[in-house]
Structure 1
Amino acid sequence: MDKFQLHKKFFCWLKDRGQKISEQDTKIWRLLLLFMALSNIGIVIVITMANPTGIGFIVDFVFYLLLVSIAFIITTLLIAFIFSLLYVPLPRLFVGSVIFTWSLVYYILSVGNLGTLFSVIIATSFIFLTMIIGAIIIILFNTQLSLKIKILTILLPMVILYLTYQSPYMQKSEIPAFSEVYPKPAVTPILEESPAKKGNFTVIYFTYGSGKDRHRREYGQKVDLVSKTVDASEYIDKWPRSREIFWGFNEKELPLNGRVWFPNGEGPFPIVLITHGNHKMEDFSDAGYAYLGELLASRGFITISLDQNFLNYSNWSGIPKKDMELRAWIILHHLLQIDEFSQTPGTPFYQKVDFERVALIGHSRGGLASTMAVDYSKWFDHDTSIEGVDKFKIQSVVALAPTDKAVDKKLPYLWETNYLVIHGAQDADVNSFRGERQYGRTRFRNGSKKFKAALYLAEANHSYFNTDWGKRDISIPGGFFLNHRDTMDSKDQREITKIYISAFLETTLLNSSRYEKLFYNYQYGLNWLPETLYFNRYENGMFQPINKFYTNRDKRVFDKDIRANAQGFSIWDIETAKDRRGNSKGKAGLVLQWDKEGSYAISISQKYISSLKNEPDSFILSIANMARDLDENLESRPKVEVEFRNKSGDSVQLPLDEYMPLPARIKVQYTKIPWFDKIMKKGKYEEDEEPVFHMYEIKLNKIKSLNDNITYQNISEIILHFTNGPGKVMIDDVGYISY
């Protein structure tokens, strides 16, 4: 047989195998193939939601549907042909469709960094679910099957779904509200109206921007006030062509766009700038803080939400390498632009802005950017484009679920700047309380009335701080798997945000004291605050610590001849405070662990008493419940009593339960199915609990009312008595404070 005949025979064989690729695909397999093909429409919807081009959903959907359809047909036929060549006795077209669909689902999940094992499980489950749904429909439409079989076919999955829904894993976690934990508040709530109530100013809304925006008319043709652009080429090495096509500009002409809510009045008014975080670039973020802008402007604050969407991540063009520096840099340029407006007759800002009273609010990466903007010299010391920013007096910073990391190996510190951080335990994006690190890096001069406060909410998430971010803390497809049952209502989360931010800015920018107590103890706000579990800390420049805990110091000896001793503890040590993922919070604390009971005694020296600059109002300490280190299922609620003794032997012993019991353990289930927490996002959600500090305050006049022989001048010993073991806690912020 010559070569030509061999080739001819080979091609005839190929043709024959090609004609027989579907020989194993009987009617039922072809019907299941149809359902597998239809399931790809659902996948296309997910792809469209996860990868917007900015053109529009329908156009994106048609584009992706065309691509996936072509790939589905080619891949299915190719796999079936290969199986035919190998004489594989399987329904080849159906198997080809399964392989394509499984691979596509796996790819989408793995690109979303959801983890290899998780992606395999979900992709496999998707295939089986599609086959089951297809089989049910085939059975229901089969005229040869009895009605009994069809009814059973419907009832069986319904029963399975019902039992799944009723399982403990699908129920809302039992997180106690403060009304359950503290049925009788230890303080009298503030009687003033809620700081979240609209104020007396009518609000004027307008925008400023480049006037050339391609996607938002309010920054384009309909802009009210034209602003300049800024050259960021010093900080951007690469601005992809796809990003330039989308926005219509490159790194040399970044716009200064802002949404302004302006109080209609004489002024000058304090000014507040709000900076959003990282989100899909094509899904704009800056309009999502209108609820804050409208409230704050009505209460006398010029409020501006800054547009930094062009610095956000896109699946098409990535994210600028130095996006954190750029976010802070843009904030500073907005201040310079507003200053220019305020000196220009005819603009709404003309002579209406009080730059002695500036506040920054930042969400997520915007929270870190805001603190960087205050400590700007670390990153922009030689940048002549921001000359003059030192005249703006940034008095206060608010961080909503902020990230916190070293940028160019440097961290921002706040000095003599009021700081408020709010974070939620249900945050699936920034799922550690990173704002506590910045809380520790916020310092004041002795005697200053500036303060810092931290608020941790048991049921708050990441996205609800922005009305446009929806309920998913992470991008699609990962967002579909998050547990939303344990998340508080979005309106409640924003109500808490409005209450705290409004009260904070009124206290720090308007020098009003009517809401200041809210930051000492959230129970002062019980007349307004929604039900959830709150943790709060507070410190001002008049805090005078008794113990400062350092891991490299003696646990028995402290500054100013303070001494400490402990009895009954299996662990008594000074350790680094760590977050949910085992990372340092930048602070150390005293760790005490006991089985039944223990006592920790602090001997107060005369040297310490003589060093007090102000007469203290209260004794405070912060405690974090670390029962997670003892037993996974132990519901440890230790009891603590604080005893004050003087040199004459007089004593007063007060249970902290009278003020506030130690907080319950807050265990978070991030995903819809508990064991997904272990495998999704490469273990990011593996730890379900993070010990968080909560401040306790005992007023010294309370002690004196029980025994007038005891005053702060003659207290010689403070003893912490721990019972109701086993228990484990970390303690910090032990000292006296004045207000």
Structure 2
Amino acid sequence: MKGEYSHFSSFFMRINNLIAKIHSKFKFFILKHFGNNKKANIIIKIFISMIIASDYYYYIADRGYPALAVFLVCSLILYILVSLFTYLCKNIYLLLKRFRANNVVLFILLVYVINSALIKCKNDSKLLKSDILIMSLIVGIIIFLFSKSLVSFVVNKKKISFPIFIITAISVIFILAFLVFPGYSEKSAIEYAEIGTEEIEDPAQFSSKLIEYGNKNPKEISLLNYVSYSGKKKKIRDTYFDKSLLEVPIKGRIWYPQNKEKSPVLFIAHGNHRFTEENYKGYDYLGRYLARRGYVTVSVDMNMLNGFMKYGLSGENDARAILLLENIKEVLALNNNKNSKLYNLIDEENIVIAGHSRGGEAVAIAENYNKIRYNPDNGKEYNYNFNIKGVISISPTVDQYNPSGKDIKLKDVNFLTIHGTHDKDVTGFQGMKLYNNTYFTEESNNFKSAVYVAYANHGQFNSRWGSADTDPPQSLIVNKKSLLEVEEQEEILCKYVYEFLQNTFGFTNDKTLFKNPQRVNMPKTLYYARYSDSSFKNLVDFEEDYDLTTSKSGKIRFDNMSKVSEQEISIGGYNTNNTAVYLSNNKNGIYQISLDELEDAREYLQFDVKTKRQEKFEDIDLSVELVDDYGNSSKLDISDYLNIYPDIKVELSKLQLLSNSYNYKGSFQTVRIPIDDFILRDKLVRTNIKYINFVFGDDYSSSILLDDIGFSN
């Protein structure tokens, strides 16, 4: 080993001597033929100053000063600054030359590595690049001095280094403790969460059983029509999987209720995570829960579409949709095969598909592909036609795949999307766009719901993904203490999925969890719940134009408002491409909708509302008033029907302690007020509603967003 080191040392010494000889000869040649030309540096600095000045001087000249004079003055000032900068850099260079080259290289490399790791946390921490560079320098100096003083004191027995060793050792311990500890609990808003007493969970009735399919000699399909990859990425991926995307296996695992035939089924597709992890096994908790209550759960293995480091795929969610549909086809074929262990296990008339992350977008695509005859991108003929009655999108992406460049839309199918405020992967509530793009014909009997869960993250919906939503070393900076406990987040998903299945398959007609989760006994947190169904007649949705005085059903009038505007809505930082009206109260403000045609109020007045407050947990001073064509009116306080939550503080990174900068996130909540309550309070003819008035009180701080105003059953 010593011989090899000596060999390399000798090699680099010869290289160094060669470079020194070349430099010496070049320097001698310049001095001999050109003389000392240091004064040329003045000319170079002049050019540098003039080039920089040309980028800015006209801003001053525009104020009426002579352009040439301004240019020359700016160039002079910049010349002085450039001279100071070069002088400073020269002295830093001379200072660095006094250090051993090995020390300089290692220190620069250390700071670079620390800065590279921290810069990936910049968005979460709300720190500037300059802040992160300073932090990297400080940490680099601490580690460097600690290493040097440790050797000096322990190995070289130099007692004078002991104070430096102690100070830096304490600093290193503090840094390590900061990285290891899970974070600080900022869940103060939970104490304001309103949790009800209604029980929705049915007791377990069956034993749960697990079976794998496709592990031995699986059927394979090609997904190359939907995914393109090549070069190093293809070589590494194909080597790892020992096959290409020409041979994607159809496989997964099934949880089912023991001794029960023809059970309704949920197929679930995981999203993009390291392909070194068996991602499809991360929903075992959900499979067990549903199996014990009479449902089959099929978790589809999509690992061959997942990524690792730089070797992931993009725009492949249509491939995930095809893989899901092909798995449904295979499982249902086994279900009809008398020689299969799956024979007669599934009720093929009752299917719901669910997906997480990219899988959450893929299931919406799959629902579309299940209905259409030809692929919109390549004309391939489909013939799936499964009886899919519902779609569940868990923390989904959207717009990673758009057929023919158009949005994915769902029609006459039940839909649920659920997302967490503390999702660090899919940071905004993208599923809200799918919610807005889900439509019902009036004769259908469908519903949709969008639920934003406070303090839930991305990864804890899959037990294999963990709580960080990112890989090391960035995961060491995540504030995990601000999250729901993993058991709570899993329980929330289990209950929502179960209730969705119960209502979709007609085993119950109780949609309380979707309409108003504040009445249900759930894990304690805030649920921002949005709901609509095919009985809803949407009178005002603010999508038709930008005229503040018109709606698709009539005229708009407003008084005593400090601000009224129609604006695109962002939920969790994601623009949903949906418009709502923003109302800011002055004092006793009123926003009136005058209907062109008299309306039958049906059973409920329904509208979506979002407050603009941040962690201000007080009732909003807002009432809603109905007026009929005879002049009879009745007014009710919104806070008597739903606790409208403000946006909550979101602290994703432990480094936010340093920046003291935070995001605030919240979402719309659907308010449903029984028409009978208006009638009981005052005389009102429910079939002749002429005006809907939103009336503010004296609170100047009241500002809200309103959307989707109408009547429903």
TM-score by length of 2: 0.78
C-alpha distance 237-162 of structure 1, shift in aligned 2 (>3 A):
closer
Q: Structure 2 matches for 1:57-68, cutoff 5 A?
A: none
Q: 2 CA distance for matches of 1:296 and 1:659? A: 32
State which of 473, 476, 479 in structure 2 corresponds to 1:477. Answer: 473
Q: Structure 2 matches for 1:635-674, cutoff 5 A?
A: 638-674=620-656
* Alpha-carbon displacement from aligned partner over 1:374-404 (angstroms, at most 9, x marks no partner): 01249825879874311x0111111111111
State which of 269, 293, 302 in structure 2 corresponds to 1:299. Answer: 293
Contact 1:641–1:721 (8 Å) recurs in 2: yes
Where does residue 269 of structure 1 map in the other structure? 263
Q: Are 1:568 and 2:573 an aligned pair?
A: no
Q: Are 1:498 and 2:480 an aligned pair?
A: no
C-alpha distance 300-384 of structure 1, shift in aligned 2 (>3 A):
farther
Unaligned 5+ residue runs, structure 1? 1-9, 18-82, 212-225, 679-685
Q: 1 CA distance for matches of 2:238 and 2:244? A: 5
Q: Are 1:288 and 2:282 an aligned pair?
A: yes
C-alpha distance 129-510 of structure 1, shift in aligned 2 (>3 A):
farther
State which of 100, 104, 107 in structure 2 corresponds to 1:91. Answer: 100
Q: Structure 2 matches for 1:49-128, cutoff 5 A?
A: 88-106=97-115, 120-121=133-134, 123-128=136-141
1:252 offset after TM fit, Å? 1.5
Where does residue 29 of structure 2 map in the other structure? none
Q: 1 CA distance for matches of 2:96 and 2:673? A: 82
Contact 1:639–1:661 (8 Å) recurs in 2: no
State which of 384, 389, 398 in structure 1 corresponds to 2:392. Answer: 398
State which of 362, 376, 379 in structure 1 corresponds to 2:355. Answer: 362
Q: Are 1:416 and 2:412 an aligned pair?
A: yes
C-alpha distance 566-112 of structure 1, shift in aligned 2 (>3 A):
closer
SS in structure 1 of the partner of residue 610 of structure 2: strand
Q: Are 1:234 and 2:234 an aligned pair?
A: no
1:715 offset after TM fit, Å? 3.4
* Alpha-carbon displacement from aligned partner over 1:428-485 (angstroms, at most 9, x marks no partner): 1111111110000000111432100011111111110001101111233332222222
C-alpha distance 704-405 of structure 1, shift in aligned 2 (>3 A):
same
C-alpha distance 85-584 of structure 1, shift in aligned 2 (>3 A):
closer
Where does residue 429 of structure 2 map in the other structure? 433
Where does residue 585 of structure 2 map in the other structure? 594
Q: 1 CA distance for matches of 2:16 and 2:397? A: 63
Contact 2:541–2:708 (8 Å) recurs in 1: yes
SS in structure 1 of the partner of residue 188 of structure 2: coil
Where does residue 570 of structure 2 map in the other structure? 578
C-alpha distance 413-159 of structure 1, shift in aligned 2 (>3 A):
closer
Where does residue 198 of structure 2 map in the other structure? 190
Q: Are 1:245 and 2:219 an aligned pair?
A: no
C-alpha distance 112-576 of structure 1, shift in aligned 2 (>3 A):
closer
Q: 2 CA distance for matches of 1:106 and 1:161? A: 15
Q: 2 CA distance for matches of 1:368 and 1:452? A: 16
Residue identity opposite 2:267 in structure 1: L
C-alpha distance 552-604 of structure 1, shift in aligned 2 (>3 A):
closer
* Alpha-carbon displacement from aligned partner over 1:590-619 (angstroms, at most 9, x marks no partner): 1112244411122245x242xx5xx72211
Q: 2 CA distance for matches of 1:151 and 1:312? A: 46
* Alpha-carbon displacement from aligned partner over 1:254-288 (angstroms, at most 9, x marks no partner): 10111111222342121211111111111221111
SS in structure 1 of the partner of residue 671 of structure 2: strand
State which of 686, 691, 707 in structure 2 corresponds to 1:732. Answer: 707
Q: Using the TM superposition, name which of 232-241 and 150-159 deviates more.
A: 150-159
Residue identity opposite 2:268 in structure 1: I
Q: Structure 2 matches for 1:159-174, cutoff 5 A?
A: 171-174=184-187
Contact 1:332–1:386 (8 Å) recurs in 2: no
C-alpha distance 627-108 of structure 1, shift in aligned 2 (>3 A):
closer
SS in structure 2 of the partner of residue 667 of structure 1: strand
Q: 2 CA distance for matches of 1:417 and 1:603? A: 32
Q: 1 CA distance for matches of 2:453 and 2:326? A: 33
Q: Using the TM superposition, name which of 534-543 and 237-246 deviates more.
A: 237-246
1:642 offset after TM fit, Å? 1.5
State which of 691, 698, 702 in structure 2 corresponds to 1:717. Answer: 691
Q: 1 CA distance for matches of 2:260 and 2:415? A: 28
1:353 offset after TM fit, Å? 2.3
Q: 2 CA distance for matches of 1:719 and 1:163? A: 56
Q: 2 CA distance for matches of 1:14 and 1:458? A: 65
Q: 1 CA distance for matches of 2:101 and 2:218? A: 62
Where does residue 676 of structure 2 map in the other structure? 701
Q: 1 CA distance for matches of 2:373 and 2:479? A: 40
1:534 offset after TM fit, Å? 1.4
Unaligned 5+ residue runs, structure 2? 1-12, 21-91
1:175 offset after TM fit, Å? 3.3
SS in structure 1 of the partner of residue 137 of structure 2: helix
Q: Structure 2 matches for 1:595-610, cutoff 5 A?
A: 595-605=586-596, 607-609=597-599
Q: 1 CA distance for matches of 2:659 and 2:324? A: 37
C-alpha distance 516-584 of structure 1, shift in aligned 2 (>3 A):
same
Q: 1 CA distance for matches of 2:114 and 2:586? A: 50
Where does residue 67 of structure 1 map in the other structure? none
Q: Using the TM superposition, name which of 267-276 and 412-421 deviates more.
A: 267-276
Q: Are 1:204 and 2:213 an aligned pair?
A: no
Q: 2 CA distance for matches of 1:111 and 1:151? A: 30
Contact 1:432–1:690 (8 Å) recurs in 2: no
Q: Structure 2 matches for 1:38-53, cutoff 5 A?
A: none
1:92 offset after TM fit, Å? 2.9
C-alpha distance 162-445 of structure 1, shift in aligned 2 (>3 A):
same
C-alpha distance 439-147 of structure 1, shift in aligned 2 (>3 A):
same
SS in structure 2 of the partner of residue 310 of structure 1: helix
Where does residue 486 of structure 1 map in the other structure? 482
Where does residue 188 of structure 2 map in the other structure? 175
Q: What is the total number of aligned residue pairs between the two structures? A: 616
RMSD: 3.7
Contact 2:608–2:707 (8 Å) recurs in 1: yes
Q: 2 CA distance for matches of 1:435 and 1:13? A: 61
Residue identity opposite 2:214 in structure 1: G
Q: Are 1:540 and 2:533 an aligned pair?
A: yes
Residue identity opposite 1:502 in structure 2: Y
C-alpha distance 467-156 of structure 1, shift in aligned 2 (>3 A):
closer
C-alpha distance 334-383 of structure 1, shift in aligned 2 (>3 A):
farther
Residue identity opposite 2:208 in structure 1: V
